[in-house]
Structure 1
Amino acid sequence: THFRLQSRSTPKNVNRCKRTLAEIAVKAVLAVADLERKDVNLDLIKVEGKVGGKLEDTELVYGIIVDKDMSHPQMPKRIEDAKIAILTCPFEPPKPKTKHKVDIDTVEKFQTLREQEQKYFDEMVQKCKDVGATLVICQWGFDDEANHLLMHRNLPAVRWVGGVELELIAIATGGRIVPRFQELSPEKLGKAGIVREKSFGTTKDRMLYIEQCANSRAVTIFIRGGNKMMIEETKRSLHDALCVARNLIRNNSIVYGGGSAEISCSVAVEAAADRYPGVEQYAIRSFADALDAIPLALAENSGLSPIDTLTAVKSQQVKESNPHCGIDCNDVGTNDMKEQNVFETLIGKQQQILLATQVVKMILKIDDVISPSDY
């Protein structure tokens, strides 16, 4: 099934890639959707952006992208069938606390301390290797000496990874976050088919791709663009598209767009007004007039004569008994929104009308308005 997602607020610079971005949004939502429960957890879709490249280079990665690189430049840039230890504890020898003091007055004492620290760190590295880890991802940093030892012991590592990224990595790889080093065990390791470091052109920017994860229900949309504003604009447009696709998973009922739904509701409400003999008739007719505001605005924004266009479409709906007639914004040559394939989600439309009605009710509850001239 192909969806064509188009937001009225989509900026012109994003518009040229709307087909590609719409498909990425749909694929991302379907990848994380729980179709049995008809629910989508949008937190599993990470939207990452990096300046550089073209908007067309935007891609969907079935895994996690972390804006970090391997802690040592000589560590391997690609690891296959990776077993990942996810640590939130310091991965380095313990340091003396501030209230303690270590006096080193001879070279021998310094040598002993250095050897002790190295031995302690060697044991930590060996523990990781014993449980089967081939990559360590740590929330905290480790000093240059520890980094050098890791490189020599052939244990690639990534440091200073944020808490949100760690959680997503744990979800995607099926691993457990290890808060205490002593609790590290083989069943707590995450699994990923490929972990690779990718550099961008001639810049020093590098990012870590964790793909083909054990639990692929976490994806990343990686946006490229010429400048920061372009990326932020694309993020906002993609969020709209993701929400539309999520609404279709929750409830796949749709209404046709172009103001056709509002016009058919307005016709039905006006017809219903005649059944009320009292003063309620005025309120009901006002509601019908309010519904006409959407197609009027659409016609005006499209450069058409608002009142003439609306009355023509409304009479066409009544005459043909076709509730799919709307405003032909793109000048396609047909008013039938079903033929144009323009639609909106039923959930979205219900929320719009419901919220607008609630705002009016809230304003009507105010008893009196005090103007500045009253003082």
Structure 2
Amino acid sequence: MLSSFNEWLFQHKFWLPPNSTWAQLEDHDGLVFAHPQHMLAALPLALVLVAVRITFERFVALPLSRWLGVRDQMRRQVKPNATLEKYFLTTGRTPKESQMAILAAQCGLTLRQTQRWFRRRRNQDRPCLSKKFCEASWKFVFYLCSFFGGISVLYHEPWLWIPAKCWENYPIQTLQPSLYWWYLLELSFYISLLITLPFDIKRKDFKEQVIHHLVTVTLIGFSYSCNLLRIGCLVLLLHDSADYLLEVGKMFNYAGLGLACDVVFLVFSLVFFYTRLILFPTQIIYTTIYDSIANSSPFFGYYFFNMLLMLLQVLHVYWFCLILRMLYSFLKKGQLGKDIRSDAEESESSDGEVASEVPQLKNGVARGPAAVPANGPRSRAARRLANGHVPAT
């Protein structure tokens, strides 16, 4: 049954232009073509990249971060509290004030102490600067090597400068060894990112990043299997051209090099805008929609490939909106603010609290003139909860 399904799914009429068959892409007379099984090598290579990344971050990136003066902020550890920990893990990381008052009463703590516990507990889960620096360093090295490696592989190819040439004699296009290894390395890298997702820094656009990696892996695998390497290479090269700038900008930011970070971010914004919002739709998507079927009719693979490219373009627009917000902050304040994709470290004065508690007497009245009860909830709802008047649910 499975073999029948595979035979039906991989029919050439689905994935290749009309009047083209898989038999035409079989190796013959010294000519080598792309075959789906070639990409299976990406799985062990992805594991190798994970090992290389761990080694690189530990023995290169971490010492570099210390040399550049990256210092992790000291965080106060929370006191173990089973009730609060259970709520934090199962219900929510930021309870409302009414729920906070209930938890405080259950644990015999003041509202302020409970707020502080949740704030410090949230800070414990946030990645430290050195971890952020190491992750950015690894991605910077890979994207930089990939970009210039891709330039060296594609520089003499006419379809790098004229995308319409990607479709000459398609799909009967032979496979170049250098192109194969570069393509394989790119696929392995994005698979390695999916493998390390549970351990990497989770930013506010985490879901979008997951979608991006899945779409990229699907695009690379599909384009290789259908011998769409030429246009696939242009997509990869175009993305790498901006990614390494973003990562080195992050490194400067974590190292406290504000001026260098600002300059790199401005350059990155311009490159991102030109490559993702101008070149990508007007050159890449245009040629895949129009030039690819100039001598044939549309087929299922045509629609599938363009759908994935359109999804990538939606993500480009989303990320550029985030870039515009940071550029607005830069123009308004004269310097870049924090990365709006990352959670900021909460200070000891968060939630409207003071840094240190006022000393209390046993009856709950604070010392000092015009003081309010230090262990009393602030809102009307919280006072009712503390007095035992729990509102009906």
Could you say which structure has the higher strand fraction?
1
**Structure (1 or 2) with the larger CA radius of gyration:** 1
Could you say which structure has the higher helix fraction?
2
Give yes or no for TM over 0.5: no
TM-score bin (small chain): under 0.3
Report the TM-score, using the length of structure 1 for normalisation. Answer: 0.25
